[in-house]
Structure formats: C-alpha cells, structure tokens
C-alpha cells in the first residue's frame, strides 16, 4: 500500500491512497467495537448520542434511545464528535460513495485503481468487489499521465441503472476531467463508458474533480464538483444523457485554505451543501473537516448557521479530527430506511485510511449533526 505523507502543493488534491493491503485488514478489527446510542435521525425530535460513544450503524441494530448533544450557535455544530460506527471487513477506503441496491444491500465505490468497488449486506461488513474498469480506462490517461488511479467517484441509481461519475487528474494540477459510466448491475466489468462530462484546463480557475449528482424538486439534474482553486461549482445535467447541458456554471462555495468534495441533498425546505475544508491525504496529520451550509435553491446562496455565505468562506463544522480519528472528510450522504447516514474516510493513528459512518440527525432549527 502506498501512502503519501508530504504536503500537496496549494491548489492540489492529494490522492496518494491506493488499494487496501493485508496489513490494513488487521486494523479493521481494531475499529469494530461499538454500540448504538440514540434513535434513527430524520426529524428535529430525533435524539442523538452522548458525545464520545461509538455508534453502530448497521441495519440489524435496534435503537435503545439516548440524549442529543446541544448544538452550538457558531460555525462548530457540536463540541465533541461521535466515534465512527462499527464496521468490519475490507474497510480501507478513500473518498467513498454509496448507494442502496434495489435488490437489497449496498454498493460502495471509492478512489483506487480503475475505481474500486465494495459491497455490504448489512452496512457493517464490507467486502472488496473488484474494479469498475478491470481492463483499464484508456480515455482517462490524457488527464492522469498514464496512471490508473481514478478519483472521487459518485454513485447513484436512477431508472433501472447505476450512474457513476468519477474524476481523472494528477496531483497539483487542474488539468482534470469528470467522466460518466453506467451499469444495470453495478458489478465489476459491467460498466459502460458514457463519455466526458466536465473538464478543466490549466487556464481555468476551477478544478473538475469530486463530482456529485443532485436532482432538485423540479426534476432538474445538477452536478456539483470542485477542489481548491476558486471552489465549488455547479452545472446543469441532461437527464437523458447524464452529461452536461449547456454552458452555465454556478459558483457555490469558496475557502482559501482548501475546499473540495461537495455533496448536495434536499431535506425538508432546504438544500444542504456538505464540503470538506483544509487538507486530506497526510495520514494522521490530515486536517480535513466536514462543513455544511444550506439554501432554498440548489444554485445557492448557501449560508452557514451564523448566516455567512459559503462563497465567502462560511461553513458550519459538523465533523473534525478527534481522538484517533484524523482528518474525517469527503462526505457522502445515504438516505436509508432508518434515516440519513454520513459516509466518509478518516485516518487512523498509523495513517491508514478507513471508512467512517455516522447517523445524521437534525436539530430544532433543521441543522444536521452526527451521532
């Protein structure tokens, strides 16, 4: 397993993490203990956990109840963060994305050689499931300088098929591209290359990586993306093709020290924009943290709890380094039968990148918190 420990250049997205190694499997057993404290989220009345307890996020666990930590009125939602929920098996990931399979179970994709896949039946035990493109993806080499390491995928399921947006780039460059692949089964080798969606050149002020597909209340499709440079962007997508529609581009969020990995979800009256601030990929020295803002429209403006515009560096922190959880970020939100969950990666004390999962609750003002 290769792990990069040097600081990336300003404006770069460090992607040094590679496939899970046998040494990492042993680490999986060290993060497997825990019990659920709190009931499933989904409303302002949903309780959370006593901060510091490790949660269980598997589908076979019953919620015995608990007390919600008080939410702060600043950009930090809670003073103490919950431990990641219990997971086991092949849990080495970077930049995870997840979708609920129509036949049951879960499909995970993440940064790795030709885009790595995992499956789970219970949201606790995860197993490696090959690569999206086991034979390679030669159309990406213009952007990767020949590397097969493809970054930051986004999975969704619509109209009987899986959609996978994924990124091709190199460290420190915004000569990048987002591509689309589709599959009816999600299995390794079953994916069809659907073409280029968005690209950026070195003359652009944005970076075309870290995609996330959102469908708004009017049925319009949008793709958010972005990493460093001028921040998070949004473009319209043609539902018939899954590719970009027109030339419009909206700016959603910016943060000078580093911002990337957007996710937009609609809950109630609000579109919530989750992003990662600061630096990933430095092992236990990573400073990644997960932030959120919200807007009445997918195009913004997104404001944090204190009313600050995310275009001006605003954002409410909902997860940051604590204890042996270092640099938690690159979020993905899963709406499951028992409530919303946040999937992310974090680094253990030894620098190994692992899967983190926590439940999402919403306070009386509609702001998300983790438990």
pLDDT of 36 above 90:
no
What mean pLDDT do residues 140-157 have?
A: 98
Assess whether 60 carries a catalytic annotation: no
* pLDDT: which is higher, 45 or 243: 243
Quick one: pLDDT at residue 58?
A: 62
User: Is 210 annotated among the ligand-binding residues?
Assistant: yes
pLDDT of 50 above 90:
no
SS3 annotation, 178-207: EEEEEECCCCCCCCEEEEEEEEECCCCCCC
Quick one: pLDDT at residue 10?
A: 32
pLDDT of 7 above 70:
no
pLDDT of 70 above 80:
no
pLDDT of 162 above 70:
yes
Mean residue pLDDT of the chain comes to 84
SS3 annotation, the chain: CCCCCCCCCCCCCCCCCCCCCHHHHHHHHHCCCCCCCCCCCCCCCCCCCCCCCECCCCCCCCCCCCCCCCCCCCCECCCCCCECCCCEECCECCCCEEEECCCCCEEEEECEECCEEEEECCCCEEEEEEECCCCCCHHHHHHHCCCCEEEEEEEEEECCEEEEEEEECCCCCCCEEEEEEEECCCCCCCCEEEEEEEEECCCCCCCCCCCEEEECCCCCEEEEECECCCCEEEEEECCCCCCECCCCCEEEECCCCCEEEEEEEEECCEEEEEEEECCCCCHHHCCCEEEEEEECCCCCCCECCCCCEHHHCCCEEEECCECCEEEEEEEEEEEECCEEEEEEEEECCCCCEEEEEEEEEECCCCCEEEC
Residue percentage of the chain with pLDDT more than 90: 78
Q: Which of 95, 154, 278, 340 is catalytic?
A: 95
How far apart, in whole angstroms, are the C-alpha atoms of residue 156 and residue 337? 16
User: Is 19 annotated among the ligand-binding residues?
Assistant: no
What mean pLDDT do residues 238-252 have?
A: 98
Terminal alpha carbon distance of the chain = 31
Quick one: pLDDT at residue 176?
A: 99
User: Is 122 annotated among the ligand-binding residues?
Assistant: no
pLDDT class of 57 with cuts at 50, 70, 90: low
Q: Which of 90, 154, 199, 260 is catalytic?
A: 260
Give the residue carrying structure tokens 């957007």. 262
pLDDT class of 23 with cuts at 50, 70, 90: very low
Quick one: pLDDT at residue 63?
A: 25
How far apart, in whole angstroms, are the C-alpha atoms of residue 299 and residue 235? 9
Assess whether 194 carries a catalytic annotation: no
User: Is 207 annotated among the ligand-binding residues?
Assistant: yes
Q: What is the pTM of this model?
A: 0.83
N residues, the chain: 371
Tell whether the torsion through CA atoms of 342, 335, 176 and 138 is positive or negative.
positive
Give the CA distances from residue 2 to residues 11, 166, 188, 283, 309, in Å, rounded to whole numbers and listed in that order: 22, 21, 23, 11, 38
Domains of the chain: 22-370 (2.115.10.20)
Quick one: pLDDT at residue 30?
A: 30
pLDDT of 15 above 50:
no
pLDDT of 6 above 80:
no
Quick one: pLDDT at residue 210?
A: 99
Residue 311: alpha-carbon gap to chain centroid: 20
pLDDT of 2 above 90:
no
* pLDDT: which is higher, 71 or 181: 181
- Residues 212-231: tens digit of each pLDDT: 999 999 999 999 999 999 99
- Residues 299-353: tens digit of each pLDDT: 999 999 999 999 999 999 999 999 999 999 999 999 999 999 999 999 999 999 9
Residue percentage of the chain with pLDDT more than 70: 79
User: Is 208 annotated among the ligand-binding residues?
Assistant: yes
pLDDT class of 80 with cuts at 50, 70, 90: confident
What mean pLDDT do residues 131-157 have?
A: 98
User: Is 209 annotated among the ligand-binding residues?
Assistant: yes
Quick one: pLDDT at residue 93?
A: 99
What mean pLDDT do residues 235-258 have?
A: 98
Quick one: pLDDT at residue 79?
A: 52
What mean pLDDT do residues 157-184 have?
A: 98
């Amino acid at each position: 397993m290769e792990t990069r420990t040097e600081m990336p250049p300003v404006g770069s997205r460090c992607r040094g993490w590679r496939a899970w190694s046998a040494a990492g499997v042993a680490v999986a057993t060290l993060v497997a203990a825990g019990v659920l404290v709190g009931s499933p989220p989904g409303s302002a009345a949903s309780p959370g956990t006593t901060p510091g307890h490790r949660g269980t996020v598997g589908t076979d666990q019953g919620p015995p109840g608990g007390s919600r930590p008080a939410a702060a009125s600043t950009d930090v939602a809670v003073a103490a963060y919950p431990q990641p929920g219990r997971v086991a098996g092949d849990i080495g990931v970077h930049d995870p994305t997840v979708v609920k399979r129509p036949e049951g179970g879960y499909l995970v994709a993440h940064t790795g050689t030709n885009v790595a896949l995992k499956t789970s039946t219970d949201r606790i035990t995860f197993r490696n499931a090959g690569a999206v493109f086991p034979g390679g993806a030669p159309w990406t080499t213009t952007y990767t300088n020949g590397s097969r390491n493809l970054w930051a995928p986004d999975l969704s399921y619509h109209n009987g098929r899986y959609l996978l947006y994924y990124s091709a780039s190199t460290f420190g460059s915004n000569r990048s591209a987002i591509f689309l692949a589709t599959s009816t089964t999600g299995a390794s080798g079953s994916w069809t290359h659907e073409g280029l969606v968005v690209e950026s050149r070195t003359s652009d002020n944005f970076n075309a990586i870290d995609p996330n597909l959102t469908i708004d209340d009017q049925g319009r499709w949008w793709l958010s993306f972005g990493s460093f440079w001028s921040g998070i962007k949004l473009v319209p997508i043609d539902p018939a093709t899954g590719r970009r529609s027109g030339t419009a581009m909206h700016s959603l969020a910016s943060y000078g020290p580093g911002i990337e990995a957007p996710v937009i979800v609609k809950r109630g009256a609000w579109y919530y924009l989750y992003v990662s601030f600061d630096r990933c990929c430095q092992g236990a020295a990573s400073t990644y943290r997960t932030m959120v803002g919200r807007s009445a429209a997918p195009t913004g403006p997104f404001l944090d709890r204190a009313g600050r515009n995310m275009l001006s560096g605003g954002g409410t922190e909902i997860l940051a380094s604590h204890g042996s959880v270092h640099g938690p970020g690159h979020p993905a939100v899963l709406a499951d039968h028992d409530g919303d969950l946040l999937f992310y990666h974090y680094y253990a004390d030894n620098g190994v990148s692992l899967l983190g999962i926590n439940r999402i609750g919403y306070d009386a003002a509609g702001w998300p918190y983790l438990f």
